[in-house]
Structure 1
């Protein structure tokens, strides 16, 4: 059995579904079910005895310790995190509590559990911490992509909290010997993503005829990784990664935000034409967010070289699958787009006048 934290969120749910499609090893799934944790993401596993779901917080040491002693997982995969930059700007404290304090509590309980294991199980145990490329800061237009040796330079409360958690994970390996792995991924996209992130927000707003808000000049560049590829990379790191190592996971797809939006609009024009005209007519430039990093880019050659992983999807194939999924699952989108979600969009974008 493995313990997955944050397994009802976007990447975590995709990982759990992918894991149980690939093998029969059970998953103990711990999720706090905040705004981004959605049990509907796991509806396909209802009644599946391989999936044990527990609602709870990684910061609840009593609960985590109890789950570890009762279920005795061979590995922990930690997705649990507050992960949206804009939310961290409006309310950074939640990010410190979950990403820093919560990770510390989870690590400390994992260490106590690991120490108690028989030697063979102790040697096989792994703690895999899922992190982000945002810990590395921002790149200039001609700078080389981030590698695992790039110094940390976080620029938002979110990325600072994730950098802090990465440092804690590293420290628990070097101080206590806990067999940890850290993965730093680029921007994920795909099914089940909460519709405040760029791609699902654009799809949802477009089909509703609402403005498509683009920060600044739209030329902020990100490396885009299909979530299914991210899942296979994590499985490779868990299976073959060397304890104490960090692996950058990227899609080899650098693209400015405005091109992402135009690509989504063109796919929507093809898949669900709007009688009112091309969806790109809805693009609206709004005031940029504070401290908006200009460019991220991931050099994923280490995980390719050492673990034999490369993404299976190009951006063209991945984005087509993604837009199709959202159009085919609008009931899911509508359920997620609750009053709390609409209030968030209003809070974040109403203050940003058209640029």
Structure 2
């Protein structure tokens, strides 16, 4: 990103005022919440990483998109290729093989993403993109359908209920922006059910793989494993109480300041980006992140009349929904996807109005442009 800003002519994203407001709030939140931090070095390391990505990310990516119009197509294509390859390795892991040193983790596949939840998110993004290619552009039907099925199976193998819910929301946003009728929606629902039943039948004989029904039972506490929802509820109660004790300043952005010690699950971070932002960054960081959510919701509503934005809107919806039930607060993959998709939406919206006004035929693929980063050390 820094290289793009140094080499290319800088193009600031359009309609960036709300993002700048969030940026200013995040900056002062970082300075103020450091007063209560237990690890000031880690606090500023986390805060500066988020601040730099929020500052440079949208402008750098918009600069690239403006200088190289085909950058979205290229990055989208290679993301789908790399993610589908990762999803394929997850399928091999699901049948009991070890791929590139990775195997099932507690009955869940991680592919090449390093963690099942990250695989689930990336597979969900790939599903949204493949659906967009099939519905909007109607090209490469066989390849897109194959990639869609592989990533859908990988999403199920990841066992990530957060990613499944987020992906479902992303698909609904895609259909909403594209104005897909109820008939197509129910057809997609039937096909999804059929593939899910096929998946359960294929992996039913494997004792090491947890099917989606078993994951739902685990989340709700109906198995021998720890109920994930019970743990999350206790963490939320802990976080809300801490917020009420100190609603303005925050506890500090370092992990130590936001850890909840669960008697059975050990040290756990808050799995909700808005609650965690308020807990650790105070009211200013909560306002900053809430502003981003409000802006994205507004953009989705506005894009109802611009189906070419459907791919990017669905990706933004997926990643932000995922952040509401995961520990994505300081994770690099989350911020890279978010700022890149936001820049892609702003750039495409401006390009559509300036260059293709009145022409419904767009030759470029409107989709998220994400960097498939190595996240093996991030959970």
TM-score, scaled to structure 2: 0.26
- Work out which structure has the larger RCO, using CA pairs closer than 8 Å and 6 or more positions apart in sequence: 2
TM-score, scaled to structure 1: 0.27
Q: Larger helix proportion, structure 1 or 2?
A: 2
